């Protein structure tokens, strides 16, 4: 069949002499036999389908990029040196050699794969990142997509603006739908006490949001650079820390305590939706 190199797991070492004899008996040129260590889980046990070994289909469904997985797999039990971790496919083909395969089994570290995938995501252009994310976001909600009441297909330009705020934070494409869902949902679901920041009470929080609403109505240009300075001044005027005022606004417009930068988020949401959400938060209090 023209096979020149036979790479297989180390448990076949004991059988190699028999196999070489079979090749010789048939008058064939034996290939180069090369036995490599097994890939292990964090518990140092051999990976298998029954032992936490993810398939490519599973990784793809979670939103891992094929180029990141390819790079990661190449480093399981093999290394170029003690510092180089990122290779393009072409560079890896040029660099790869059997003598750099380690003598001990490589460990499948999913945390490292997620980290590496995040690096690859951050290196994508915004356009390509958006193109790759949208299919994951448009999946059914049960499969990890946006809520089913959000119409599909998604607007590319708006989604691109939304994703520009999350590209630095995502580790997989599958995380995008949850991370940005509040940019699409008209009805936010959150517990009212989240609006009340440390050192605040409901009355002060309501007054602060009312003041913020009045200020934002008067902003000429709905851009993050035009909103931040006057909002900081408002916090001083109200005798609040910026974290108290901004934290209440953050929850009011997103329903979350951890989000992209507040004023960039407000810019993407738009004036109408931002003010409507602040008004709804005031009514909650």
Let me know if 238 is exposed, middle or buried by CB neighbors in 10 A (0-12, 13-18, 19+).
middle
Question: Which residue of the set 44, 49, 83, 198 is catalytic?
Answer: 49
Active-site annotation holds for 57? no
Let me know if 98 is exposed, middle or buried by CB neighbors in 10 A (0-12, 13-18, 19+).
exposed
Q: Which residues are catalytic?
A: 49
């Amino acid at each position: 069949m023209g096979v020149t190199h036979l790479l297989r797991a180390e448990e076949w070492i004991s059988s190699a002499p028999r196999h070489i004899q079979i090749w010789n008996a048939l008058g064939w040129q034996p290939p180069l036999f090369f036995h490599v260590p097994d890939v292990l889980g964090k518990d140092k046990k051999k990976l298998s389908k029954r032992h936490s070994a993810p398939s490519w289909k599973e990784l793809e469904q979670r939103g891992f990029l094929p180029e990141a997985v390819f790079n990661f797999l190449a480093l399981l039990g093999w290394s170029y040196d003690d510092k180089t971790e990122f290779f393009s496919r072409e560079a890896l083909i040029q660099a790869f050699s059997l003598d750099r395969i380690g003598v001990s089994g490589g460990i499948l570290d999913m945390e490292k794969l997620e980290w590496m995938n995040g690096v690859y995501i951050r290196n994508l252009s915004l356009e390509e990142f958006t193109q790759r994310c949208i299919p994951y976001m448009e999946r059914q909600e049960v499969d990890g997509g946006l809520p089913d009441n959000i119409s599909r297909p998604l607007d590319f330009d708006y989604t691109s603006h939304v994703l520009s705020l999350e590209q630095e934070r995502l580790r997989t494409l599958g995380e995008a739908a949850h991370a940005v869902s509040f940019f699409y949902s008209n009805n936010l679901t959150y517990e009212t006490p989240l609006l009340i920041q440390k050192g605040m009470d409901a009355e002060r929080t309501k007054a602060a949001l009312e003041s913020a609403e009045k200020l934002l109505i008067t902003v000429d240009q709905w851009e993050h650079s035009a909103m931040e300075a006057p909002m900081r001044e408002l916090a001083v005027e109200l005798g609040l820390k910026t974290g108290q005022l901004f934290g209440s606004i953050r929850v009011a417009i997103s329903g979350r305590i951890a989000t992209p930068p507040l004023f960039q988020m407000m810019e993407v949401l738009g004036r109408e939706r931002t003010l409507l959400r602040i008004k709804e938060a005031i009514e909650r209090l």
